[in-house]
Amino acid sequence: MNTFIYFLLVFGYLCFLIWGLILSKRSMLDFTSVLLLVIVGLVYDNLIIALGKFIGGGKLLEGLSTLRYWLHALFTPTLILFAWSIGENLGLPWAKKKFWKVIFSLLTAGLILYELFTSVIGLKLKANEDNGIFTYESIESVSPVMVILVTLVLFIMGIILVKRFHFPWLLIGTVVMISGSITAAWIKNFPIMNSLEFLLILSLLLTKRYQVRESEKMNT
């Protein structure tokens, strides 16, 4: 059952990727386009998990699993730039200031380096089979600092969008992610975190769509 869910997530993310490409067709160099990288990383992540039991234990799956951690470390922190760029494109005065662009850029770079040095470089994996899913997971617990800070930035931006534009979906997505993460420890037989990530990405794409539409109104 869980294998089917992971394949379903892969299909869903591929649909998201197509949607994201359509939304970004006029602004591919915009920092909101980093969302596409995150989606690519999630396609890969869920695909390797889904294929794990078919590939089987060994160096191949271990190597493919290592790349999952690299993509997570390199791509996920860029959602901070996504949040800032949404604000800038919507004309928020503070987001247009160079100071905040530098701060968000430094925070993104800092989190990437932090994740690489604490979770990826020197990474050691062990085989793990659970609920019909065969994967290679980190022997040591992965630091939650990066994910917490990225979620916090998205949460704050969600509040700003609600107050300024009455747009709720980014805030809803982050609240669902936070709430679900708290209850995930009690749900053992369902990929709850992967499902929550899917809902968060949906809220980010809805935010991107809103920003694109508002930007088109500003330019007409």
The DSSP annotation for 92-124 comes to -TGGGSHHHHHHHHHHHHHHHHHHIIIIITT--
Q: pTM value?
A: 0.94
Distance in angstroms (rounded) separating the CA atoms of residues 183 and 20: 30
Residue 67 Cα distances to 73, 94, 111, 150, 192, angstroms: 10, 37, 18, 21, 22
Per residue of the chain (220 residues), give pLDDT as tens. Answer: 789 999 999 999 999 999 999 998 877 778 999 999 999 999 999 999 999 999 998 999 999 999 999 999 999 999 999 999 999 999 999 999 999 999 999 999 999 999 999 999 989 999 998 888 999 999 988 888 999 999 999 999 999 999 999 999 999 999 999 988 887 667 777 788 889 999 999 999 999 999 999 988 877 6
Domains of the chain: 2-218 (1.20.1070)
Distance in angstroms (rounded) separating the CA atoms of residues 173 and 148: 14
